[in-house]
Amino acid sequence: MADDDKKDDQELSEDEKLAAEWEAAMEEAEDAGADRDDEWAAAMAEAEAEQPRDDVRPAPMEEFGDSPAGGGNTPDLDVILDIPVTISMEVGNTQIPIRNLLQLNQGSVIELDRLAGEPLDVLVNGTLIAHGEVVMVNEKFGIRLTDVISPSERIKRLQK
């Protein structure tokens, strides 16, 4: 019998040996995972029994009013004033199939969903905060804000 095992080992390719090792490891991991899942389920059930879900309430979000700074109940924004954010301008957008995307090359034109002369969207970290128009500032592009969304409206958009 031992001679048969030796022959089988010699006849197995390296890939087959590796596959057998992986299979054994996966079976071992499944056995350990089942125990871990049972422990996790028991811990979750215990936690739910100790603290009913009815007590969970969303944290209140401060409402930013349109009142000027220094007025009454305004939150202290000094703690976040130095945090960098990404500001971007969106000329427009469109959707095209990947087939057409792969065919694009230098000189290709993509039609956008905006009309020429329409204001651009000004986004901060992907959230719309204003609309504006392109201007030149010292031989560089800039944007003149034409309509700024109020802080309370921005907070409402974030909550959606």
pLDDT digits (tens, 9 = 90+) for 34-80: 555 666 667 666 666 655 555 556 666 665 555 555 455 566 777 88
Pairwise CA distance, residues 80 & 83, whole Å: 6
The confidence score (pLDDT) of residue 145 equals 92
Residue 152 has pLDDT above 80, yes or no: yes
Are 30 and 89 in a shared domain? no
Note whether residue 28 is domain-resident: yes
Please tell me the total count of domains within the chain: 2
The confidence score (pLDDT) of residue 144 equals 92
The confidence score (pLDDT) of residue 52 equals 53
Would you place residue 154 in the very low, low, confident or very high pLDDT band (cuts 50, 70, 90)? confident
What is the pLDDT averaged over residues 139-145? 90
Are 38 and 91 in a shared domain? no
Are 154 and 88 in a shared domain? yes
Note whether residue 57 is domain-resident: no
Are 96 and 146 in a shared domain? yes
The confidence score (pLDDT) of residue 54 equals 56
Structure pTM?
0.45
The boundaries of the domain holding residue 122 are 84-159
Residue 83 has pLDDT above 60, yes or no: yes
Identify which has the larger pLDDT, 25 or 35: 25
Are 37 and 95 in a shared domain? no
Are 92 and 147 in a shared domain? yes
